[in-house]
């Protein structure tokens, strides 16, 4: 069993491994210039294949947690740069046999490359097929960035130069970075409406963190809810999986179990808990489009409401 090490020790080990590696994948919510410059110096001779996956939300760049110009340098250096809005993991994979996992971002403070750095911890992870598959799943789920997209990001951020930080969207418009199609646990409400969760504080870009942040504005919160992947997915199931548009709790649970892309897959009870949370949000923010009702003493059933002309409503 491996032991915990500090970010100082992590940096020392990486400095030994990186100059001779052939493949490098770094998954880090944030990335800044000191760490990217340090990385470039270490791999300048061997020039490995490099994949960098970050969170890269608008608020991250506005706060300086990540740097757009640094990402431009990375792309110009031939690195593959990808974005995943719900990312919180920090993983360093060197070739196919060494994996570090912990709390250290690819930043000056995360890797103790600057003064007043953070105190982080990490450990070596068994580079088994399951670990590598988990990393591959994150990489595949992330969205490729290029220089043209970074220019669009820059233009979008410039609209908010004089705005209060709270006005800055936590996710990019669809024409810059579209949502991923895979459905993950993080796309669901992790609690009931109105419950303040630490997960939402740590990652405000989570869809239900945004909804909770907007809960004092019912119309905005409802609009955000109806734009979530899980709501759109549910709408599709109601239309495509049953002739009369009614689906029971157990039927939705089975469909969810097959649809979730998390690896390892969540337990069935966890899926049911997430589903129950989702139903609370349905009743609060989307009762005009989807009805949650209980026939007799049976479990809750969903059906799409009809509009005034008798057609089924569908969110697009």
Q: Quick check: 22 and 50 in contact, CB under 8 A?
A: no
Which residue is associated with the tokens 């969110």? Answer: 315
Whether the predicted pLDDT of 265 surpasses 90: no
- For residue 244, what pLDDT is reported? 52
Q: Could you tell me whether strands 49-54 and 23-28 are parallel, antiparallel, or unpaired per DSSP bridges?
A: parallel
Residue 215: CB atoms within 10 A of its CB come to 14
Closest among 207, 229, 205, 225 to 217, alpha carbons compared: 225
Provide the b/e sequence for 184-204 (b: ≥16 CB within 10 Å): bebbbbbbebeeeeeebeebe
- State in Å, rounded, how far the first CA of the chain is from the last one: 49
Give the position of tokens 């979008």. Answer: 156
Residue ranges of the chain assigned to CATH 3.30.870.10: 5-158
pLDDT in tens, 58-82: 989 988 999 999 999 999 999 999 9
Chain centroid offset of residue 273 CA: 20
- Which residues, in sequence order, are CB contacts of 158 under 8 Å at separation 6+? none
Confidence band of 308 (pLDDT split at 50, 70, 90): very low
Nearest 5°: phi and psi at 221?
-60, -40
| pLDDT number for residue 121 | 92
Instruction: Answer whether 68's CB lies under 8 Å from 30's CB.
Output: no
Computed over every residue of the chain, the mean pLDDT equals 87
pLDDT range class, residue 171, cuts 50, 70, 90: confident
* HEC string for 101-119: EECCCECCCCCCCCCCCCC
Helix (H, G, I), strand (E, B) or coil at 293: strand
Looking up tokens 């912990």 gives: 102
Give me 308's structure tokens: 């005034």
- CATH architecture of the domain formed by 5-158: 2-Layer Sandwich (3.30)
Per the document, the length of the chain is: 316
Helix runs in the chain, H state only: 7-17, 33-43, 58-62, 68-76, 129-141, 147-158, 198-202, 207-213, 218-227, 229-240, 249-259, 268-285
Secondary structure class of 2 (helix, strand, coil): coil
Quick: pLDDT tens for 294-305.
Answer: 876 667 888 887
- Which segment of 37-46, 187-196, 221-230, 245-254 scores lowest on mean pLDDT? 245-254
What was the pLDDT predicted at 236? 86
Mean pLDDT of 4-16: 95
pTM above 0.85, yes or no: no
């Amino acid at each position: 069993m491996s032991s915990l090490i500090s970010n100082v020790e992590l940096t020392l080990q990486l400095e030994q491994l990186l100059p001779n590696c052939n493949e490098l994948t770094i998954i880090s919510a944030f990335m800044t210039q000191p760490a990217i410059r340090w990385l470039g110096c270490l791999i300048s001779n061997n020039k490995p294949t490099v994949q960098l996956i970050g969170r890269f939300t608008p608020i991250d760049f506005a706060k300086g947690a990540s740097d757009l110009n640094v990402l431009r340098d990375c792309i110009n250096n031939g690195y593959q740069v990808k974005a995943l809005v719900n990312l919180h993991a920090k993983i360093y994979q060197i070739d196919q046999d060494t994996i570090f996992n912990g709390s250290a971002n690819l930043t000056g403070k995360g890797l103790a490359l600057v003064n007043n750095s953070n105190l982080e911890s990490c450990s070596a992870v068994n580079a088994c097929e399951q670990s590598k598959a988990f990393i591959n799943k994150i990489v595949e789920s992330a969205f490729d960035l290029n220089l043209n997209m970074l220019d669009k990001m820059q233009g979008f951020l410039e609209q908010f130069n004089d705005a209060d930080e709270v006005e800055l969207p936590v996710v990019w418009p669809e024409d810059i970075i579209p949502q991923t199609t895979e459905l993950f646990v993080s796309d669901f409400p992790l609690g009931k409406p109105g419950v303040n969760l630490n997960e939402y504080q740590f990652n405000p870009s989570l869809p239900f963190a945004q909804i909770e942040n907007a809960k004092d504005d019912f119309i905005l919160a409802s609009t955000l809810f109806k734009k979530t992947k899980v709501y759109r997915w549910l709408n599709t199931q109601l239309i495509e999986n049953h002739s009369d548009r009614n689906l029971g709790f157990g039927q939705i649970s089975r469909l969810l179990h097959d649809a979730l892309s998390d690896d390892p897959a969540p337990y069935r009870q966890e899926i049911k808990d997430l589903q129950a949370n989702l139903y609370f949000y349905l009743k609060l923010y989307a009762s005009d489009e989807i009805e949650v009702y209980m026939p007799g003493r049976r479990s809750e059933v969903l059906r799409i409401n009809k509009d005034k002309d008798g057609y089924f409503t569908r969110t697009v």
